[in-house]
Amino acid sequence: MKESRSKPNQKANRRSFLRKGVLAVGAATAGAGFLATRLSAVRRGLEEKSGRLTRGDASILRFLAAAEILETDLWQQYNELGGIQDSEVPGGSGSLLYTAALKVLDGDMDQYIHDNTEDELTHEVFINAYLASKGADTADLDRFRTLPSSKATGAQQIGRLTNIMQLTVDTTWWTRYRSRTKNPDFGDTFPQAIPALAAGQHPAIPRSDDDLTPSDHIQAIANTAGFHFGTIEQGGTSLYPSLAQRVTNVEVLRIVLSIGPTEAMHFQTWQDKAGNAPALTDPKDPTLVFPNLNASPLGGEDFQTNLIMPEPVVFLSRQLPACSIVRPTGTKGSAMGALKFLTAMGLFLGQSKEFFGFMTDLAEDADEARRDVE
Ligand SMILES: [Fe+2]
Ligand SMILES: [Fe+2]
C-alpha cells in the first residue's frame, strides 16, 4: 500500500460526509442538469482515492490481492520441498522423501503443487497490476515477511508470511460438500473428516531433515499437506463468489468471476487427492491418526473417497429444490470470515500485531463495500 490505512471511524466519517454532501446538493438545487453535474462531481470525489474504481471495488480487489499474496507464500513453501522447481516457479531444490510421500496420494502431486503455486502467483500479480492500472493503491505485504523457513534440505532460507509448520487443519469441507441437507449459509455445522488434524499443531512440510524419517512420520506430514491443500482452496472457492456480490463495476466482476472458479478447480483436485491419504498413525505424534475414510463413522455412499463433486444441497430457501453449489457463499462479513479462518488454522503463528492490524483493515474495507448500481 502506498498510503497508510485510515481507521474505520475515519472512513465512516468520510462516507457520511459524502452522503450528506449528496443530500445537501439535492435540497439546494433547482435544475436537474445542475444536480447531475454535481452528483458526478461527488462521484468523482468518491472514486478519487481509488483511481477509476469505486472505493468498494478497489477495497475488494486489494483484499483479494493480499489473500493471493498469502496463498502464494504458503504454496511457494510447498513447491520448494514437494513440487517442481523451475523457471515458472523458482526457488528451492526439493526434498526427495517428502516429494515421494506426497506422491503416495497421486503420482502427479509435484506437478499439481507447482501449477497451484503458479496460479496463485499470477492471481496476486494480476490483481495488483490491475489496481495500479486504475490508479488505485495496491496490496503489499513485503514488510511482514518475517517468519522462518523450514530447515529441511531443499527449502530456501528466506522470510515468510505464513507458517505451515504448526497447522490446525479444519477438514469439515470433506463432509460439507457431501451433505445433501446441510448448508453452512443456513448455520449448519459439519463433522471433521480427520478430527486429529483439527486439534493440536501439525507440520505440513518437514521442519528439518529430522522429519524425513521414519516413513510413517513423513507420510503423516504429507497427509497433513494433502488435507491442508483442500482446506485452503475450498476457502478461495467460497471467498470469490461471496465478495462478487459486492462488486459494482462489470469489469471488476469479470475479474472476480474469472479467478474464483480456478480456486474451485484447485479444490476439486485436492479433494480427490486427499481421499488417497493412507490410513496411519504418526509414530512421532501418536495423537495424529488418519482414519480409513471409507469406514465408520464416515464411509457409505456419501463418503466414498472417490467422490469429488458436490452433492446437491438446500440453497437460498428450504422451499426451493436442492442444487449443486459452492458453499458457503453468504456475503456478509466474508472477508473478515476468511481472515479469521486463516488465522484459526495457525497460518500466521509468529506474525506481528501490525500484520493482523493491516489485514483486518483490508478485510473490513472489503466487507464495507456495497454494490453501487448506477
Ligand atoms: Fe488464488
Ligand atoms: Fe487458490
Q: Find cell 461471496 and name the residue.
A: 242
CA nearest neighbour of 223 among 154, 167, 300, 146: 167
Q: Which bin fits 158, alpha (ψ -120 to 50), beta or left (φ > 0)?
A: beta
Tally of CB atoms within 10 A around 250? 8
The amino acid sitting at 374 is E
Dist CA 76 CA 117 (whole Å): 6
Per-residue pLDDT of the chain (374 residues; tens, 9 = 90+): 434 444 444 444 433 333 333 333 333 333 444 344 434 434 444 444 566 999 999 999 999 999 999 999 999 999 999 999 999 999 999 999 999 999 999 999 999 999 999 999 999 999 999 999 999 999 999 999 999 999 999 999 999 999 999 999 999 999 999 999 999 999 999 999 999 999 999 999 999 999 999 999 999 999 999 999 999 999 999 999 999 999 999 999 999 999 999 999 999 999 999 999 999 999 999 999 999 999 988 878 888 888 889 999 999 999 999 999 999 999 999 999 999 999 999 999 999 999 999 999 999 999 999 997 64
Q: Show the beta-strand stretches assigned E in the chain.
A: 280-282, 285-290
Give pLDDT, residue 108: 98
Residue 274's H or E segment, with its range, is helix 250-274
- C-alpha 267 – ligand 2 centre gap (Å): 8
- C-alpha 201 – ligand 2 centre gap (Å): 22
Neighbours of ion ligand 2 (CB under 5 A): 233, 236, 263, 266
- C-alpha 257 – ligand 1 centre gap (Å): 12
pTM for the full predicted model: 0.87
**Centroid of chain to Cα 224:** 18
Give pLDDT, residue 137: 96
Q: What is the pLDDT of residues 33-79, one digit of tens each?
A: 434 443 443 444 444 456 699 999 999 999 999 999 999 999 999 99
- C-alpha 335 – ligand 1 centre gap (Å): 14
CA nearest neighbour of 78 among 235, 282, 228: 228
Reading the block at residue 114, the C-alpha cell is: 507447482
- C-alpha 39 – ligand 1 centre gap (Å): 37
Dist CA 211 CA 198 (whole Å): 21
Ligand nearest to the CA of 121: 1
Tally of CB atoms within 10 A around 295? 11
Q: What is the pLDDT of residues 283-327, one digit of tens each?
A: 999 999 999 999 988 878 888 888 889 999 999 999 999 999 999
What residues contact 263, with CB distance under 8 A and at least 6 apart?
A: 233, 236, 237, 239, 240
**Centroid of chain to Cα 283:** 31
What residues contact 101, with CB distance under 8 A and at least 6 apart?
A: 215, 218, 219, 221, 222
Does residue 190 contact residue 176 with C-beta atoms inside 8 Å?
yes
